[in-house]
Structure 1
């Protein structure tokens, strides 16, 4: 059966220990006026000045975690804003992102192609959807780039398993959902991949 084509970035599903994901996340700052939008499910990286930004495909800067939402004071109305995504170009000094930053969280992400079981435990790049996110829902359109499976330790994701979601577990069909961990995390790289 064909997999459902509906990208959502990285979604936390459980811990490496097998325990359920408890919803834990940490606060990080986004620079006032930062122009790049960041969507829920996007990988974020450390930037100079004590702030974070969206991980660019093919980037090698270590990953802080997965963006889960933002809050800031609207510079025009003075009201507090809570959103699933950071729209970019907000001139505020209190832009706070919620980030799933535990290196032991297992995420689910959609593949941009069929994901062979033989490629599990490989390290992978991401690919941005077009557009990179949905401004209505605030959800990322990022997918795992299946063709990039490699042993390179600086790639952002390590594939662990195929999702058990019956709508996206067909390894012979495009858009297989994959369970993964952050490979190149600020708390240290995991081992080289096997792909």
Structure 2
């Protein structure tokens, strides 16, 4: 068996950029509306809305991402000082909530593969490279702040699916042609910066 074992999904983790360019950790800061009523976890997909703030993108077969959430900061209403958090807790009331988002349309992400419609780890063969897939939205973990988003092991050439598989991750394969993690990017035109229609 390969090491390390991937036992559960963990969201989208930036690894580099198209063409093998280095991902230097660059993020863009976007506001989150005070009181926004949804958790946003590290590795979740987020989208811009028409008031200039971001929200969690809950899309699966379709999505309109501006990027991937990797944390936030805000002045704690209970403590009275600025906190830096792995995730945004639902309903947080503050006037200065800022999300840190990997918003480069050329960013590549590592993500776990799960069985269609579940959070159960599954595999794809190398033939999945170049195909598209859908996001599987599973609730994140408040104890760690980590996302549990994954992609489906069912891949296709369907142009409207939001994820393009770029490569497989050999280090965690469970067999000669059984990969539980893949490298992905946004399918062309899905990212909000590449979509000709405004927010």
State the 1:36 CA deviation: 0.8
Give the aligned CA root-mean-square deviation in angstroms: 1.9
Among 124, 134, 159, the residue aligned to 2:133 = 124
Alignment correspondent of 2:118: none
Q: How has the CA–CA distance of structure 1 residues 185 and 93 changed in structure 2, closer, same or farther, with 3 Å as cutoff? A: same
Q: Distance in 2 between matches of 1:168 and 1:57?
A: 28
SS of 1:17 mapped into structure 2:
helix
SS of 2:134 mapped into structure 1:
strand
State the 1:85 CA deviation: 0.4
User: Map of 1:1-195 to 2, 5 A cutoff?
Assistant: 1=1, 3-58=5-60, 60-112=62-114, 113-129=122-138, 132-147=139-154, 149-164=155-170, 166-168=171-173, 170=175, 173=178, 176-183=180-187, 184-188=190-194
Alignment correspondent of 2:117: none
In the TM superposition, what whole-angstrom CA distance separates every residue of 1:82-123 from its partner, at most 9, and x where no partner exists?
Answer: 101001101112110000001111100000021122222122
Runs of 5+ in structure 1 lacking a partner? 190-195
Q: Distance in 2 between matches of 1:103 and 1:185?
A: 6
Q: Distance in 1 between matches of 2:55 and 2:160?
A: 18
TM-score, normalising length: structure 1? 0.86
SS of 1:150 mapped into structure 2:
coil
Moved more, 119-128 or 37-46: 119-128
Runs of 5+ in structure 2 lacking a partner? 115-121
TM-score, normalising length: structure 2? 0.84
Aligned pair count reads 184
SS of 2:172 mapped into structure 1:
coil
Q: Retained in 2: the 8 A contact 1:35–1:88?
A: yes
Q: Distance in 2 between matches of 1:31 and 1:133?
A: 20
Any runs of at least 4 consecutive aligned residues in structure 1 with deviations exceeding 6 A, and if so which? Answer: none
Give the structure with the higher percent strand: 1
Q: Retained in 1: the 8 A contact 2:74–2:98?
A: yes
